[in-house]
Amino acid sequence: MKRRFPKPRDLAPLMQFKKPELNAKKRRLASALTIYDLRDIAQRRTPKAAFDYTEGAAEAEISLARARQAFEDIQFNPAILRDVSVVDLSSEVLGAPVAMPFGIAPTGFTRMMQTEGEIAGASAAGAAGIPFSLSTMGTTAIEDVKAANPTGRNWFQLYMWKDRDRSMALVDRAAKAGFDTLLVTVDVPVAGARLRDKRNGFSIPPQLTPGTVLNALPRPEWWINFLTTEPLAFASLDRWSGTVGELLDSMFDPTVTFDDLAWIKEQWPGKLVVKGVQSVADARTLASMGVDGITLSNHGGRQLDRAPIPFHLLPEVVREVGKDTEVHLDTGIMSGADIVAAIALGAKFTLIGRAYLYGLMAGGREGVDRTIGILGDQIARTMRLLGVKSLAELEPGHVTQLERLVPRAR
Ligand SMILES: Cc1cc2nc3c(=O)[nH]c(=O)nc-3n(C[C@H](O)[C@H](O)[C@H](O)COP(=O)(O)O)c2cc1C
């Protein structure tokens, strides 16, 4: 082999070092290429009890694990030689435009995870052209969410609790603030058993014990933010000390039925979506009541464990009610490819819970931007690789659901 001395001219192109990013948050977020990367950053920066509250699910967490597995267990079937130079991720959902086929799911206690909470979520959603959902258990006032996302779409999530007047007063405020959609969550007759919260003694406000103090030491920013910003206040209750499960049980009304839903529907001027539907029969009943949409969801696995997998329910529910009622889906979405698969099997829209919260905990507003950016890029790339340039072109043939543990032919 003949060797030679490298010439400066040959070395120059190899030595184009990128300008280092001096802003630590930007550097941190730029290093996250997937939602799982954001999750890892979030875990390093958030006290264990708050992180576990977000990440955890009910009982043995089987519902959540299965929902994620179901997304992983698909095969995409691409078409070749299509012009995919331009892809369009936008569509119309509940009578108005959305820039991408996902929105931010309602989550409670959001400012506990990171102090910017709902303001970060609502402003990021507004900037990206996707809807933001505020939970009944949210930690930012309805009007402040509207101010953070003044021209974008805001949805309000209702838990019907024992004090009906107070819950309907919130609905009234949401309507006055111009929220265009009411999500009525129906999978919480009682709280699921969130064992991580019990084990962590997770309470609101957080209790200072030797364990929490020790855990706080490497996470000073969270504590500084927590102690130097507006104290946590809930949209719906003034003060609470106890675990989240106890709080939910004290508030939620296990007597709520379809009649109550019809009563709520009469009073709400906008679109109404029922969130937490888990069977074809219930989907049919809701469609016959004339709701605008249903969300197939098991609450991110936080309620009934071993619940049906929303993604598996999707094709049949779409077949049964999809013509008259929009079918939305959540639980387990951790990548844009998951969203593409759901749209291909007939979902009109999806919601992200933890994927948003991991971004929030990793970097506040910019972290949520990063979540939305990662998912948007993954959706666009997956669509291009499948050979489609619009959501309407996605169809069930693009996805094969693989069956696990099927004996191999000999
Ligand atoms: C920390 C946390 C809090 C939640 N709080 C609420 C809530 O207040 N109301 C509600 O309807 N759903 C709530 N959910 C469920 C989400 O709206 C959504 O259904 C779920 O997170 C979707 O699953 P994913 O986290 O895998 O995306 C919560 C979920 C999480 C993770």
Question: pLDDT per residue over 188-208, tens digit each?
Answer: 999 899 999 999 988 766 677
Q: Is 297 in the pocket of ligand 1 (CB under 6 A)?
A: yes
Q: What is the rounded CA–CA span in Å between residue 348 and residue 346? A: 6
Compute, in angstroms, the gap from residue 74 CA to the centroid of ligand 1: 24
pLDDT, position 16: 76
Compute, in angstroms, the gap from residue 55 CA to the centroid of ligand 1: 10
Q: Is 139 in the pocket of ligand 1 (CB under 6 A)?
A: no
Distances (CA, A) of 81 to 20, 69, 85, 206, 398: 39, 31, 11, 56, 15
Max Cα separation, the chain? Answer: 87
Compute, in angstroms, the gap from residue 57 CA to the centroid of ligand 1: 10
Q: Which amino acid is at 73?
A: D
Which residue stretches of the chain have pLDDT < 50?
Answer: none
Q: Is 206 in the pocket of ligand 1 (CB under 6 A)?
A: no
Helical ranges in 58-116 per DSSP H: 62-72, 110-113
Structural tokens at position 48: 């264990």
Distances (CA, A) of 285 to 211, 271, 277, 279, 294: 49, 17, 11, 10, 11
pLDDT tens-place string over residues 364-380: 999 999 999 999 999 99
Q: Are 280 and 316 in contact (CB under 8 A)?
A: yes
Contacts of 14 by beta carbon, 8 Å cutoff, 6+ apart: none
Angle at 59 between CA 55 and CA 62, to 5 degrees: 75
Cα–Cα nearest to 311, from 292, 339, 275: 339
Q: Residue 328 — φ and ψ, nearest 5°?
A: -110, 165
pLDDT tens-place string over residues 388-406: 999 999 999 999 999 875 5
Q: H/E element holding 96?
A: strand 96-98
82: helix, strand or coil: coil
Q: What is the rounded CA–CA span in Å between residue 120 and residue 372? A: 12
Clarify whether 328 is annotated catalytic.
no
Q: What is the rounded CA–CA span in Å between residue 217 and residue 206? A: 15
Q: Which amino acid residue places its CA nearest to atom 19 of ligand 1? A: 299
Q: With b meaning 16 or more CB within 10 Å and e meaning fewer, what string describes 43-79?
A: bebbbbbbbbbbbbbbbebebbebbbebbeebeeeee
Q: Are 350 and 333 in contact (CB under 8 A)?
A: yes
389: helix, strand or coil: coil
Cα–Cα nearest to 303, from 181, 206, 167, 159: 159
* 24-394 belongs to CATH 3.30.460.10: no
